[in-house]
Amino acid sequence: MNEEIFVLSLRQLLGKRRTFALIALALLPLLVALVVRTSDSSADPVDPLDNAMVNYGLIVTTLLPLVTLVLSTTSLGMEIEDGTIVYLLSKPLSRAHASTAKLAASWLPAGVLVALSASLSGSIALQGSGESTLLLAFVVSSALGALAYSALFLFLSLLTTRALIVGLIYVFIWEGLVTELFAGTRILSIRQYTLGVGDLLTESTKLDAHLDGLAALALMIAVTSAVVALAIRRLNRFESRSLF
């Protein structure tokens, strides 16, 4: 990984207004957990575990893909669009190091944001129940999910200038609809990998995981590695008509 590119890319993301919109979005699950927790429960008691699970589901299905999509496409896509990537690529350094630096720089803020949102909203929901393994499962699975999503969306940014739209279609049509309807397609869904890994780390049966935990972890590793390899290959053959 190239440190200069990593630091530059972090600065690039932190200076953007959209990053602050994402932080606001990450606060939503906390708010939901708090509202559910403090609402009058005498008439309709809410199980803290249910509250936590609903929240985690919200994070994995919405916050996680959105945050990674926006950060990854901003990190690389914008740079391709405005042509500044030429300053990074016209250097005597391996493009694999450039790709991994870009990946790390979009994964770090995305992972931190989602893992924080998951653990904080989880502890608000579970207050008093003391389910620390569950919280750990939330944090680890969402951080790993963020890595897989970031890698996929970085690769998309290299494939198309409409990575944001293609990414949204993947998340909401493929993962949100197709994999719900056809069980066989679930082996190609980062959402299912994330839930599966969460399932692996906890004994709770309330996580809506459809894949076996170990299989989910193996698939996640395989798909992420493959996508990173493809991104490096693509960057090695990077051609542009509009760079100059």
Partner 1 sequence: MIKAENVSRWFGNIVAVSDISFSVGAVITELQGPNGAGKTTILQMAAGFLQPSNGSVRVRGQSPWRNSMLYRYTGLVPEREAIYPFLTGYEFVLLNARLHKLPDPREATNRAIRMVELEDAQHRATGGYSKGMKQRAKLAAALVHDPLLLLLDEPFNGVDPAQRLHMMGVLRDLAAAGRTIVFSSHILEDVERLADNVLVIVSGRLAASGDFHRIRRLMTDRPHTFVLRSSDNRRLAAALVETQSVKGVELIDGGLSVRASDFGAFTLAVSAIARESGVTLFEFVPADQSLESVFSYLVKR
Q: Which of 75, 70, 31, 29 is nearest to 53 (CA)?
A: 29
Structural contact between residues 119 and 138, judged by C-beta atoms closer than 8 angstroms: yes
Residue 2 Cβ vs partner 1, minimum distance, rounded to whole Å? 7
Return the sign of the alpha-carbon dihedral for residues 59, 206, 150, 180.
negative
CB atoms within 10 A of CB 113: 23
Binding status of residue 231 toward partner 1 by CB under 8 A: no
Window 100-139: residues binding partner 1 (CB under 8 A): none
Identified binder of partner 1 from the candidate list 17, 43, 205, 244, rule CB under 8 A? 244
Taking the least distance from each CB to partner 1, the nearer of 85 and 195 is 85
Residue 164 Cβ vs partner 1, minimum distance, rounded to whole Å? 19
Residue 172 Cβ vs partner 1, minimum distance, rounded to whole Å? 31
Between vectors from CA 1 to CA 79 and to CA 197, what angle results, nearest 5°?
A: 95
Taking the least distance from each CB to partner 1, the nearer of 84 and 133 is 84
Q: Which of 140, 127, 145 is nearest to 51 (CA)?
A: 127
Taking the least distance from each CB to partner 1, the nearer of 182 and 244 is 244
Between vectors from CA 230 to CA 225 and to CA 233, what angle results, nearest 5°?
A: 125
Q: Which residues contact 184 (CB under 8 A, 6 or more apart)?
A: none
Taking the least distance from each CB to partner 1, the nearer of 12 and 179 is 12
Residue 242 Cβ vs partner 1, minimum distance, rounded to whole Å? 8
Residue 65 Cβ vs partner 1, minimum distance, rounded to whole Å? 27
Window 151-210: residues binding partner 1 (CB under 8 A): none
Taking the least distance from each CB to partner 1, the nearer of 128 and 237 is 237
Residue 113 Cβ vs partner 1, minimum distance, rounded to whole Å? 21
Distance CA 44, CA 212 (A): 33
Site string for partner 1, 73-102 (x = CB under 8 A): ---------xxx-xxxxxxxxxx-------
DSSP 30-58: HHHHHHHHHS--SSS---HHHHHHHHHHH
Calculate the dihedral angle through the C-alpha atoms of 14, 15, 19, 23, rounding to the nearest 10 degrees. 70
Structural contact between residues 142 and 207, judged by C-beta atoms closer than 8 angstroms: no
Taking the least distance from each CB to partner 1, the nearer of 16 and 206 is 16
Window 1-40: residues binding partner 1 (CB under 8 A): 2, 4-5, 8, 11-12, 15
Taking the least distance from each CB to partner 1, the nearer of 39 and 84 is 84
List interacting residues with partner 1 (CB under 8 A): 2, 4-5, 8, 11-12, 15, 82-84, 86-95, 236-244
